[in-house]
Structure 1
Amino acid sequence: MSNPFNPGAGRKPPYLAGRDDIVRSIEQDMTRVYDDAEGMRPIVISGLRGMGKTVLLRALYDFANQRGWVVVWAEASKDESLSKKLAQSIYVELRKLRSSEKLAGRAFEHALAVLKSFQLKIDPAGACSFGIDVSPAKGYADSGDLSLDLQDLLEALGGAAREAGTAVLICVDELQEAPIEDLRPLNMALHSIGQSFSPVPVFFVGAGLPTLPSVLADASSYAERLYRYYTLDPLSDKSSEKALVEPVAGQGMAWSPEALGLVVQEAAGYPYFIQQCGFSICEQVDGPIELTMVETLAGIELAREELSRGLYRSRWGRATAQGKEFMRAMAQDEGPSKISEIARRMGKGDPSSLSVLRDRLIKDGLIYSPERGLVAFTVPGMDGFINRCGEVD
């Protein structure tokens, strides 16, 4: 019997629990984009590490791909231009569609020519040459103003899709990592195409950490009104139960109420832990899952150790000695920590003296600020790891 659970970063779980309302709402917007051949407000999905943001993006990707959309996927990073990544992804998709002859016509050729112009402007040295065998479109995506040029590219891409009777989905994961010199033009371009008298059928979805809404707002003050925001919270107990029960249904396995209750309690609604715990237990059990089996086979402890070796330790290792001291002070709290209390624990008289260290930990994606004066870990369970293992390093 194959193990029905599928832990791992961005890997699709056998049963996507607790996200039905969000998926349904976004898919309704996508259906309107397709039916009306016009754009809708872009979407931002935020949440802690391991909450299923990438999985949700993949579900939307599959939804669009199955309907013949032009689908573009990119992952932002601190050290690379998001504009170049988007251009590369668009080129790969257009080349694939051109070779399969799924898109053709003047609008499609125009989109290729505009992409060529865009590439020459963002990468004049040709370091990322895409080998597009068309001449650049003069007067399009060649102004040198990234927001205007990106707008031209998205309008040309959307126009080609509209002519072909389809639409465009652009997914960007880890959007909070994008340099601000890319985020501001992205906001402006999405804002501009949304205000058009005839918005092109381009649908944008970005995903990232809880800091993402504020990062976008720092780039453009109107970002809070530009996007529709969704937050992925921990799963309810009922959804957690479904995430554990549904995958094993029909495989000759079932959870006893006691075993199921223990895992749900230990998981505390954390989807990544649920997948890892289910996987660890099912690696050792091929029949009914009883409480004694869960306890004696140490499925929960094995899952916790697996997360400690990978998810937690890799992030702990990225912090400086001062950063680790800051996080040890945080780990003494259940839930968000007050900066003033962290300063007291670290022997700092003035909480403002920690502002540079705090900002560095936020930029490194280790913590975030849910409210003014508070900080919290971006990974659920990080406090427990630090309390168990943080003195080792």
Structure 2
Amino acid sequence: MGNPFNPGAGRKPPYLAGRGKVTSSVKTDMRRVYEDSEGMRPVIVSGLRGMGKTVLLRELDDFARSQGWVAIWVEASKGDSLARKLAQAIYVELRRLRSAERLTGRAFEHALAVLRSFQLKIDPSGAYSFGIDIDPAKGYADSGDLSLDLGDLLGALGEAARDAGTAVLICIDELQEASIDDLRALNVALHNIGQGSAPVPVFFVGAGLPTLPAVLAEASTYAERMYRFYTLDTLDAGAARAAYVEPVEELGSRWESDALNAAIEAAAGYPYFIQQCGFCICEQIEPPAAITVVEVTAGIELAREELARGLYRSRWDRATVKGKEFMRAMAIDDGASQLGDIAQRMGKKSANGLSVLRDRLIRDGLIYAPERGYVAFTVPGMADYIERAEEM
């Protein structure tokens, strides 16, 4: 019999616990976009690693596809053009819909022509030719101003969807990895297509680390008023209990009370650990046998070892020698660390001398600044890993 838990980056768990309000709210907006054939405010979902941001985006993408939407998925990455990735993803989706004869007509052909114009502007050398067998649309997406050209592309895509009686969902994961210029262009384009007299039915959802709202605001000052922001935090005890119990009951087994309490306490509300811990525990039982403290104790240890080898070790190894010293100084604290305390532990006269090192660790996605003068790890449990590694 299969294991009911599904650990891994972005993999959909068998039971999506504690995210019902966010999912329901965003889906309600999506329904309004479809019913009114007009856009709604774009959405940003932020949170630490392993909180379920990608899973939430996948849930929305699945919902859109089940409703016959045009669904675009992009994962931003450092050093890679977000505009090019977005154009390529749009091309792949339009080619699929064209082959299936899902989108047809003049509006659709115009969208392809605008996409061709956009592609030629962002990649004039043709190194990333998407094979669009149509002439570019003159006067559209060819100004050389990325924000205006991206707005033309999204507008044409929305008009094609409206003409076909559907809507467009654009999901961009790891959005904080995009360059500031690409983020500025995205902000302007989304702002502009939402300001028209008849906003096109394009709905945008971006996801990233807790730094993302501040990064978007740095790119465009009005971003904080343009988006709807949601934060995914650790699960409360009730949601964590459901995340453990529901899959096991589907398996035909059950938890002994003290065993379940031990598993909940060990996870501390961290969704990624719940999946890994649940998986390791269920590997040791044969349903319908009950899960006891014996399996839970062994499962917790196996889960911690798995996360140490993968999630934590990979991040630790990315840091420089000085970066590791900085993070060791952070690991002493229970929660966010004050820069002044870190400086003192590292033998520095003031926190000013740590700014370059701090910024590099933030750029590498290892830490973030929850508020001015403080830093914290982007992955829950990282401090415990560092302390255990130092003891070994």
- The normalised TM-score by structure 1 is 0.98
Contact 1:368-1:376 within 8 A present in 2 as well: yes
Contact 2:107-2:163 within 8 A present in 1 as well: yes
Contact 2:284-2:295 within 8 A present in 1 as well: no
1:291 aligns with 293
1:83 aligns with 83
2:317 aligns with 317
CA distance in 2, matches of 1:55, 1:2: 21
CA distance in 1, matches of 2:251, 2:170: 37
Identity within the alignment, %: 71
Cα deviation, 1:135-183, whole Å, max 9, x if unaligned, reads 0000000000000000000000000000000000000000000011100
CA distance in 2, matches of 1:199, 1:250: 44
Q: Quick check: 1:66 aligned with 2:66?
A: yes
Contact 1:49-1:209 within 8 A present in 2 as well: yes
CA distance in 1, matches of 2:305, 2:251: 27
Q: Quick check: 1:141 aligned with 2:108?
A: no
1:79 Cα offset (Å):
1.0
Question: Which residue identity lines up with residue 88 of structure 1 in the other structure?
Answer: Q
1:12 aligns with 12
**Structure 2 runs not aligned, ≥5 long:** none
Cα deviation, 1:345-377, whole Å, max 9, x if unaligned, reads 000011110011001000100000111111000
2:24 aligns with 24
1:252 Cα offset (Å):
2.6
CA distance in 2, matches of 1:386, 1:292: 27
CA distance in 2, matches of 1:52, 1:78: 21
CA distance in 1, matches of 2:338, 2:187: 32
Contact 2:171-2:205 within 8 A present in 1 as well: yes
Q: Quick check: 1:307 aligned with 2:307?
A: yes
Question: Which residue identity lines up with residue 308 of structure 2 in the other structure?
Answer: S
Cα deviation, 1:88-129, whole Å, max 9, x if unaligned, reads 000000000111100000000000000000000000000100
**Structure 1 runs not aligned, ≥5 long:** none
CA distance in 2, matches of 1:323, 1:106: 55
Equivalent positions of 1:340-379 (< 5 A) are 340-379=340-379
1:264 aligns with 264
Q: Quick check: 1:251 aligned with 2:240?
A: no
Contact 2:51-2:271 within 8 A present in 1 as well: yes
CA distance in 2, matches of 1:322, 1:166: 53
CA distance in 1, matches of 2:162, 2:137: 19
Q: Quick check: 1:385 aligned with 2:377?
A: no
CA distance in 2, matches of 1:224, 1:131: 38
Other structure's SS at 1:249 match: helix
Other structure's SS at 1:349 match: coil
RMSD (Å), alpha carbons = 0.8
Q: How many residues align structurally?
A: 390
- The normalised TM-score by structure 2 is 0.99
CA distance in 1, matches of 2:179, 2:272: 28
Q: Quick check: 1:103 aligned with 2:112?
A: no
Contact 2:147-2:186 within 8 A present in 1 as well: yes
Cα deviation, 1:45-71, whole Å, max 9, x if unaligned, reads 000000000000000000000000000
Other structure's SS at 2:162 match: helix
1:253 Cα offset (Å):
1.1
